[in-house]
Structure 1
Amino acid sequence: MIRALVLSLALWVGLLAAPLAAQDAGAAARQAAAALDQAGRDLAAAERASDRVAALTATVRAYEDGLTALRDGLRDAAIREAALRRDLSAREREVASLLAALQTLGRADVAQQLLHPEGPLGAARSGMLVSAVTPGLAAEAQALARDLQEVATLRQLQENAAETLRDGLSGAQEARAALSQAVADRTDLPRRFTEDPVQTAVLIAATETLEGFASGLTQITGPDMAPESGARLAKGDLALPVSGRILRRAGEADAAGVARPGIVLATRPEALVTTPAAATIRYVGPLLDYGLVAILEPQADILFVFAGLETLFGAAGQVLPEGAPIGLMGGGDGTAGTNNTSVLQAGEGTGNTRPETLYIEVREGDTPVDPLAWFATDKG
């Protein structure tokens, strides 16, 4: 389903208004199709639960990337169509005059064209004038026909692609459901410690800030705590945990005037959140006014805090490989993609649809640092 969606996009995206943007969308569509094919092969060959989770994670990401490419293409098509319609409307009088001239030329027979009040010489001059003007009229008529045809083509493309997008959204939802089940069935993850729910509950009750909770969390260890191993993190080169656009940077105040040390990303509804590096889950669950929170420890004295999810995967103490699913964003009310308008508005902070937001904080020891010092991004 999504494969047909992204491949069809790659074919027609060249018709859009901005050539460079169209090429980017087409390339993204082809990459998503290739990723989905590979994920399907990996899923068919998966023997372990962790392999199935990894393949389904790649499947969900491929759906998200393909749908993003299609939305971008649809948006460009709508913009191009609107521009053409405005241009044609502005040229309405000019177009009417052109059509009248063409109709007049078409009705005149040879005998009429030879008659002229000034005699043969006037007829010759008129003929020369008509001969000079006719190619220009024909060129304008051809340009008009091309514009009208492009409007019709863009409209048809939008209608067809919007229907395909609705199918793609259903496929993505099925993949997310399969991923959630696969995560629930997974039992082969290594563990660094076993959470003490009493200690965690006491810590939550005793703290009033994320800073206090994170500081206290680093002091909680279990009797089976094992030393951490693995390569050091590539600071500054980590991928963001979710595709999105930066709404607020570290230290920027929100609408209520509250400034926090983390960043806020606008994401698509139900976007998949993954761990940017191999890490131990230190906490997953509700926390203060942050909603559902996942706190990961990729290495000693480093914490990644992700807040604002609607669904969480995993349990405290589990060691996740890089790229493993952490959870899903909210916004899955079933209305996205039900018509052309909502399809085009379901973007990262675009249109009238309110985006989902993920809060990201990074702590080195007990000190929060700018997350953009850790993550590679060219957005925002």
Structure 2
Amino acid sequence: MIRAGLLSLALLAAAPATAQDPGADARAASDRLNRAAALMEAADGAANRVKALTEVVGAYEDGLEAMREGLRRAAIQEEALSRRLQSREDEIASLLGVLQSMAQSEGPVLLLHPSGPIGTARSGMIISDVTPALETRAAALRAELEEVTVLRTLQESALDTLREGLKGAQDARTALSQAIADRTDLPRRFNEDPVKTALLVASTETLEGFASGLSQIAVDEVPGSLPGIDARKGSLRLPVEGRILRRAGEADAAGIVRPGIVMATRPRALVTTPAPATLRYRGELLDYGNVVILEPQAGLLMVFAGLDVVYGDIGEVLPGGSPIGLMGAPEGADGRDTNALLIENGKDAGASRSQTLYIEVREDNEPVDPETWFETNEG
């Protein structure tokens, strides 16, 4: 029995142990959040405060994304190690028992065998062969137990860093909103006629009809157009970080087919202009929620729908990468969205992308596949 137990434990010793640094991702994410905090301090004296704060919000979003992913991986790894150790409780107990009995047995007794000198010699050979394997296995188990401890400690400390990062991100968003409200230096293509805008919204039944009537709300529009962006077709950055949830022409759960794409984004994600553009409209429209319509060049409209907060004044010319709004937050989240977003260190990374942005592109008021204009990196 002892011989069989020793041999089985020796075979277990051959199982490889993973050698990883579970804190590397968390440290890198923490560095990103520290960089965001430093950018926030520098933004106070920046000449272009909106641009500086836009970079701050982006830096916080990158750092928080990395921190959540690090926490997610740590949680998965810690659970896998715990399950593996739990499933081997009997084996571990046997290993500890054998090692303990070997350590406590006196030399002469350990060498005796009922079958005589030959049995004693054979037992000694078995013990000599198996002992290094047992010690290796014991060391591997100690390493796994230590890794579980490290991962749990890491998650506890990283949650505090995540809370601080979430607060910093919300402070940056608040400062950005104020900076946009205070901004007065943007050029204007036209002034908005609010009465005509209200009438157009009230009488509109389709996005196509609304887009065709946008010129009616413009007063004293400057002739001409912004420089064309045809050369950048297919390479424009998407207006928000996320993944494509539904492509152009694909039906949603209700069977509705739209010519645009739907992107899944994180709560409070910042939405920016893909290129310099005139802000043709912002506000609620039909069943699209809050909508922003940009005109990068004559005859080209980009529609972004589903935002929670929208920025800018109709008629302004916005630089490329300029903030135009924020996505919403999960229902029930507080103003700083801390509690809701702390949940995102769970195992399902996709579950945290709870918001959706609809993107439609229209050329001469005809919808085209947005993926012909944007670089999506998705096949």
CA positional deviation for 1:84: 1.1
What is the rounded CA distance, in whole Å, between the counterparts of 1:348 and 1:312 in structure 2?
27
Cα distance in 2 for residues equivalent to 1:319 and 1:138: 71
Of residues 226, 237, 243, the one that matches 1:245 is 243
When the two structures are superposed, what TM-score results if normalisation uses the length of structure 1? 0.86
Matches within 5 A, 1:27-66: 37=38, 40-41=41-42, 43-47=43-47, 51-66=48-63
**Alpha-carbon deviation of 1:35?**
6.5
Aligned partners of 2:254, 2:264: CA distance in 1, in Å? 18
Does structure 2 retain, via aligned residues, the 8 Å contact 1:336–1:343? no
1:338 shift after superposition: 3.2
1:198–1:222 distance in 2 versus 1, CA, 3 Å: same
- Give runs of aligned pairs for residues 79-118 of structure 1, distance below 5 A: 79-118=76-115
Task: Find the counterpart in structure 2 of residue 256 from structure 1.
Answer: 254
Cross-structure match for 1:311: 309
Q: Give, in whole Å, the separation in 2 of the partners of 1:247 and 1:202.
A: 34
CA RMSD of aligned residues (A): 2.6
Q: Percent identity?
A: 57
Question: Which consecutive unaligned segments of at least 5 residues does structure 1 have?
Answer: 1-12
- 1:26 touches 1:69 (CA, 8 Å); kept in 2? no
Distance 1:241 1:81, change over 3 A: same
Instruction: Return the structure number with greater relative CO, CA threshold 8 A, min gap 6.
Output: 2
Match of 2:356 in 1: 357
Q: How does 1:225-374 map to 2 (within 5 A)?
A: 225-233=222-230, 234-331=232-329, 333-334=333-334, 336-338=337-339, 342-345=343-346, 349-350=350-351, 355-374=354-373
Select between 147-156 and 89-98 the one with higher mean Cα deviation: 89-98
Contact 1:348 1:355 (C-alpha < 8 Å) held by counterparts: no
**2:131 alignment partner in structure 1:** 134
C-alpha deviations, 1:158-202, integer Å up to 9, x for none?
111011101110110000000000000001110000011122112
Counterpart CA distance in 1 for 2:285 and 2:317 is 21
Deviation of 1:231 (Å): 4.9
Q: How many residues align?
A: 357
Q: Distance in 2 between matches of 1:40 and 1:173?
A: 14
Shift of 1:117: 2.6
Judging changes above 3 Å, is the alpha-carbon distance between structure 1 residues 339 and 316 closer, same or farther for their aligned structure 2 residues? Answer: closer
Looking at structure 2, the residues matched to 250 and 196 of structure 1 have their Cα atoms a distance apart, in angstroms, of 33
Aligned letter for 1:92?
E
Q: 2:143 aligns with which of 146, 152, 177?
A: 146
| Residues in 2 aligned to 1:56 and 1:347: alpha-carbon distance in whole angstroms | 30
Q: State the partner residue of 2:21.
A: 15
Structure 2 residue runs of 5 or longer lacking an equivalent are 1-18
| Deviation by residue 1:72-115 (Cα, 9 ceiling, x = unmatched) | 11111111111112212222222222111111111111132233
SS at match of 2:191: coil
The two structures have a TM-score, normalised by structure 2, of: 0.87
Q: Rg larger in 1 or in 2?
A: 2
